[in-house]
Amino acid sequence: MKIIRLAPAQLKLPFQVKLPISAQEFFRLAASCFMALQLSFAPFLSAAPPEKSASTKTAPAKSADPILKVMQSELSRATSSLSKTDPAPYFLSYTVNDQDIVVLVGAYGSLLTDAALQRRQADVVMRVGSPALDNTHGQSRVSGMTSGPLPLGDNPEAISRVLWELTDREYKRAAPAFLNVKTNTAVRAEEEDKSPDFSKEAAQTHTGEALVPIGFDRAGLEGEIRRLSGAFRKYPGVYFASVVLQVQNSNSRLVSTEGTAIASPSTSTRLIMEAETRADDGMELIRVETFQAPSAAGLPSEADLSAKIDKMAEDLKDLRKAPAAEPYDGPALLSGRAAAVFFHEVLGHRLEGHRQRDEDEGQTFTKKIDQQVLPKFLSVADDPTVHELAGMKLSGSYEYDNEGSPAQRVEVIQNGVLKNFLMSRMPIKNFGVSNGHGRNQPGLMPTGRQGNLIVTSTQTVPEAQLRQKLIDEVKRQGKPYGLYFDDIQGGFTLTTRQLPQAFQVLPVVVYRVYADGRPDELVRGVDIVGTPLAALTRIMTTGDQQHVFNGVCGAESGSVPVSAVAPAMLFSEMEVQKRGHLHERPPILPPPGFEITTTTAQGALSKTEVKP
């Protein structure tokens, strides 16, 4: 199934990979993550689960769901038949993802896209051999899954037939892959981590109540998208702008030979407003605002969104005039959102379980359990069970991960000391079971991934005092200025041994804060760079309020929605570099309605700018 692209700039990566490899190969080698504000339309991105009261209990699976019934029936038939094969599978699961999506894309007062679609995809996961060693071992991991579109509707014969085809195709991949794994294991040097390939987990049965599609005023929303996108027309310096609304109802069903049967309905609404301009030297400048809620009624009012648009346009106007930043190494203050992305990239990915086992990985923290890795006043947890913090809905919430394990809060770092990793059902040394963090985009094998990464601090000062703390540190170090990172668009990190153990965070609004009392100066074109072990030791103190960054993270197991939560942070030292950019000139012609006309007045030429 193809990625749906809803706007020309919607899925642009905010960095350039200058390597002679494909994008897929880059992500495999680098094990890297791209976390961005942009709304991602990768197939079957998880939607937020409906919130539950404290008294809600897990209900047993019911056969009333006709799709779940067909899945269970075909699973039983396939298991019986394949048990006679050699080698025989010891595990088989079916996952079926349904999505009903409405997408509205507006630009300059009109709609570019007004679409509704339904889609259904099946993933067949098969493990041949035994939990100790199976076909998914090492580089053969991709052999564990075959995917394909599944018929819409409730026709059991059609659905069964496609599941049968996918199961047959998967066995023909998994069986020879297992034989290759056994051969390679026999001839290669012994691996450092001898953990099994699959963990034993308790079967889960849960059927969420079927969600009635949330009614919304589509015509009214179309009008609002037109009006909001039309507001950008009054700004000649905005060279591209769009407003994107996605309303989604989803249902993910999972059955396995272990007895798991889960149906997880969910709903979500996301709104993205994006605007771009270009400086005279060709540097692209972008401002993005994103909002999400369980339904369209939970989005900000049209008046509030219009005010955001005015602020975005004003920011772009100021950025165009701002000087380009120079390389710098010195004190820096990160806003809460910037600090949240910083922790997601610098720390979070290096705490994902599978990275501790893969010998191609840098394994930065693999042998640091019970050692101090952060200042003692910082703790980090990942909690997909939390739906809202600091007044914002969180993107990375879910009830069950994509392997059927219940979501859990994991205290990863306590008072600066490393305690745990984010685990899928791939065991690692000393961590043999899942803690509910096996996540994937359909069509890719799950791995341990972040959900809602939450940073807390016991050494705080009121946010209003952090700027003065920054100035004090600048003076102490004898620097002319420090940097304040106000807003951020995303970042990425590299975690493998073949590439530098580095990260890059991509700010959009950055100020020089001068020690001599001069007004703060906006600069552009600066990226935060560095290596994790050095960067994490330079945090001096934090603010007293938490801030949320919602985004989409892409790594080996695909694109998944995530959140990162953190307070503002003061660093004694932060390194930045100049951002690479194209050198395309700004538009030669003025936008419509802003033409410059030449007239003759008493024999002299004068120019008149026509404003709308």
User: Environment class of residue 9 by beta-carbon count within 10 Å: exposed (0-12), middle (13-18) or buried (19+)?
Assistant: middle
Residue type, 573: E
Domains of the chain and CATH, by start: 61-321 (3.30.2290.10), 328-578 (no CATH)
**Mean pLDDT rounded to a whole number for the chain:** 87
| The predicted structure's pLDDT at residue 455 | 98
Tell me the Ramachandran region of residue 530: left when phi exceeds 0, alpha when psi lies from -120 to 50, beta otherwise.
left
90-104, 197-211, 426-440, range with the lowest pLDDT? 197-211
Q: What is the CA radius of gyration of the chain?
A: 26
45-59, 197-211, 293-307, range with the lowest pLDDT? 45-59
| The predicted structure's pLDDT at residue 495 | 85
Please count the other Cβ atoms lying within 10 Å of the Cβ belonging to residue 78.
Answer: 24
pLDDT tens digits, residue range 273-331? 999 999 999 999 999 999 988 889 889 999 999 999 999 999 999 999 999 999 999 99
pLDDT band at 216 (very low <50, low <70, confident <90, very high): confident
Are 482 and 473 contacting, i.e. CB atoms less than 8 angstroms apart? Answer: yes
Average pLDDT score over residue span 56-69: 62
CA 221-223-224 angle, to 5 degrees, is 65
pLDDT tens digits, residue range 386-436? 999 988 899 999 999 999 999 999 999 999 999 999 999 999 999 999 999
Is the confidence at residue 537, as pLDDT, over 50? yes
Q: Which of 133, 156, 385, 399 is nearest to 264 (CA)?
A: 399
What percent of the chain has a predicted confidence (pLDDT) above 90?
72
Is the confidence at residue 606, as pLDDT, over 50? no
DSSP string, 363-414: -TTTT-TTSB-S-TTEEEEE-TT--EETTEE-TT--SB-TTSPBP--EEEEE
Average pLDDT score over residue span 209-236: 86
Are 467 and 484 contacting, i.e. CB atoms less than 8 angstroms apart? Answer: yes
Is the confidence at residue 50, as pLDDT, over 60? no
Structure tokens at 439: 């996540």
Average pLDDT score over residue span 53-80: 73
Which residues touch 489 (CB under 8 Å, ≥6 apart)? Answer: 14, 36, 37, 286, 288, 506, 507, 508
| The predicted structure's pLDDT at residue 24 | 40
Looking at the DSSP bridge assignments, the partners of residue 352 are: 422
Is the confidence at residue 62, as pLDDT, over 50? no
Q: With residue 78 as reference, give the H or E element that holds it.
A: helix 66-82
What's the chain's length in residues? Answer: 612
What percent of the chain has a predicted confidence (pLDDT) above 70?
86
The number of helix segments (H) and strand segments (E) in the chain equals 8, 26
If DSSP codes are grouped into helix, strand and coil, which group holds residue 588?
Answer: coil
pLDDT band at 477 (very low <50, low <70, confident <90, very high): very high
**Distance between CA atoms of residues 487 and 469, nearest Å:** 19
| The predicted structure's pLDDT at residue 337 | 93
| The predicted structure's pLDDT at residue 12 | 28
How do strand 447-448 and strand 438-439 relate by DSSP bridges?
antiparallel
For residues 423, 426, 428, 434, the Cα torsion angle rounded to the nearest 10 degrees is 40
Is the confidence at residue 25, as pLDDT, over 70? no
| The predicted structure's pLDDT at residue 595 | 73
User: Between 232 and 267, where is the model more confident?
Assistant: 232
Residue type, 27: F
| The predicted structure's pLDDT at residue 391 | 87
| The predicted structure's pLDDT at residue 360 | 83
Is the confidence at residue 33, as pLDDT, over 50? no
197-201, 338-342, 343-347, 598-602, range with the lowest pLDDT? 598-602
330-334, 450-454, 607-611, range with the lowest pLDDT? 607-611
Are 122 and 152 contacting, i.e. CB atoms less than 8 angstroms apart? Answer: no
**Distance between CA atoms of residues 503 and 499, nearest Å:** 11
Which residues touch 120 (CB under 8 Å, ≥6 apart)? Answer: 96, 97, 98, 99, 149, 150, 151, 152
Are 443 and 3 contacting, i.e. CB atoms less than 8 angstroms apart? Answer: no
**Distance between CA atoms of residues 49 and 46, nearest Å:** 9
| The predicted structure's pLDDT at residue 582 | 81
pLDDT tens digits, residue range 135-156? 999 989 999 999 999 999 999 9
